[in-house]
Structure 1
Amino acid sequence: MLEQGTYIRPPYISIPDKVDFVKRDHFLAGFFGHKRAITSVEVTHLFLNIQTNMIGKALITGYAQIAQDQEVKGFLVRGMQIAQQHAELFSEILIKEDLPAPMNWDSAVTDSTVTVFSDKLIMFNVSSMIAAGIGNYGMAIAASPRRDIALKYAALLPEITLYAEAGAKIMIKHGWMEEPPQADDREEIIKG
């Protein structure tokens, strides 16, 4: 990818000459007035969340091309749109900081429509990716002291959660969702 010029290197920040300590709570600001530069950890989470959304979008695009059920196809198209919107939002933050944002992976998707995976497997895989994405956003919130960045992640979580629920409903409807092991229901046991 480097030789072809298609690889976008992760953002680079200068190595500090000395250790600095936060002197004011302005470090946490981000809604009004001057915003401090984003930290290396914030850059890392933004870059990785853009990458995972773009790779996820490419994978879901391929899945949408081969899915058999129209409801599953619609679910996948919605996921493509969500991933694109989230990646654009995170890219805007990096670009405003004069840092590179990863490119999309759309060109990696072929035009194949040959069904190689079942809709059940596709839904399981996409549901797993959604769960991982929610975890990634949670980690990014915890690692982003600048309030405006943490709030952007937090504002996206309800949309992803509703998308995950829609996927679970499709899986339940088709009998594809295996019930995970659960703790003993003491009330039910006592009623016996």
Structure 2
Amino acid sequence: MPEKPAITSSELGVLWLTYQEKTMILRMLEYFIEKADDDKALKIMTDLYKDIDLYVGKIKIIFEDEGAAIPVAFTSQDVNKDVPKLYDNGFDIMFVRLLKEISMGLHTLNINMAYREDIVMLFKDLTAITQGAYNSCTQYLIEKGLLARSPYVSMPKTVEFVKEKNYLAGMNPLTKLGNKRTLNTIEVAYIYHGIEANVSGLQMITGFAQCANSPEVKKFFNKGAEISKSVVKEMSEVFLEDGIQIPTTSGGNATRSTVAPFSDKLMMYCTSMFCSFSMGGNAVGTAFSLRNDLVAKMGVFTKDIFEFAHEGAKIMIKNGWMEEPPQMAERKDIIGK
């Protein structure tokens, strides 16, 4: 075996995807760092920028060593740091926290598709960086009163087992009226997380809609905002039925600015990534929900988000914004020649 074997197709794919994501985050951090008005937030974002920039460079070196084309991804052409603030009151750290949540999931998947030791270590290091930044953002937001905790609950004193099939149907076996049973803590966790993520996503996409240059893209973002509102509304109603506190925040508002700090291409890619994250979250939430009505709701949300993401992909292709991942060899064409 050679000391360092060539990278596999899986490794090339996840490195390519990581390069896209990280260069997007760098461009967004450049803008948020320029507009930061809090020293602690500035340090969190500056430290993260340095770490990500280092590993983007490492991925680029791997591509060069392997003779692979360097992706275009996102460059200085995709950010304008000199425009007015698009978001205020802690949105920068709220947004970075959500990005790091997505990154944690991606790095976990990517490390499972890597074989070469240096690439495994690269994703292991990125995971540690991401976890550290996520925690820093969480503690900052709690300290500033911008992040609500999920509801507290009385601690169980005994162990119980499910005795009625109605538990899965979402019905309360102790009543004859077919009332829905109370949510369990696992269901609360995923619903609460879904509401929290969609509130941040709604704030993000509202800002995007205000400043998008293309009327078609602006209309697309407005549609995304309506989907987020619908998810927040329906999931909040599930909580209210059981008298459970709904996550709220006083921060992260879009300003009145209509000047874009980011290219339409970057904002579309960011929205696409959030859609993928949302569909993945709904899939996990569905797997761990034991009330059929919740499974049905999440299924509808997933369908709506998938159709929205598909519409976004068509807009990106139409405008030449969707960079094509490296392809496997076209064997039929080669044989035909």
TM-score when scaled to structure 2?
0.53
Give yes or no for the alignment of 1:14 onto 2:169.
no
Match of 2:287 in 1: 142
Superposition deviation, residue 112 in structure 1: 1.4
Aligned mates of 2:301, 2:199 — CA distance in 1: 16
Match of 2:253 in 1: 108
Equivalent AA in structure 2 for residue 163 of structure 1: F
Which of the residues 140, 146, 152 maps onto 2:297? 152
TM-score when scaled to structure 1?
0.90
| Structure-to-structure mapping, 1:1-192, within 5 angstroms | 8-30=148-170, 33-103=178-248, 108-192=253-337
- Do the aligned partners of 1:8 and 1:103 also contact (CA within 8 Å) in 2? yes
Superposition deviation, residue 53 in structure 1: 0.8
- Do the aligned partners of 1:67 and 1:119 also contact (CA within 8 Å) in 2? yes
- Do the aligned partners of 2:202 and 2:225 also contact (CA within 8 Å) in 1? yes
Distance 1:107 1:163, change over 3 A: same
The alignment covers a number of residue pairs equal to 192
Aligned mates of 2:306, 2:145 — CA distance in 1: 36
- Do the aligned partners of 1:55 and 1:105 also contact (CA within 8 Å) in 2? no
Aligned mates of 2:312, 2:295 — CA distance in 1: 26
Distance 1:15 1:187, change over 3 A: farther
Per-residue CA deviations over 1:78-135 (Å, capped at 9, x if unaligned) read 0000000111000000111110111266861111122210000000100000110011
Greater share of residues in helix = 2
Aligned mates of 1:85, 1:141 — CA distance in 2: 18
- Higher RCO, 1 or 2 (CA under 8 Å, sep at least 6)? 1
Aligned mates of 1:49, 1:189 — CA distance in 2: 47
Unaligned residue ranges in structure 2 (runs of 5+)? 1-140, 172-176
Per-residue CA deviations over 1:3-53 (Å, capped at 9, x if unaligned) read 987654311221100111112222101278132211111001111111111
Question: Among the aligned pairs, what percent are the same residue?
Answer: 39
Aligned mates of 2:273, 2:313 — CA distance in 1: 11
Per-residue CA deviations over 1:33-80 (Å, capped at 9, x if unaligned) read 132211111001111111111110100011111110000000000000
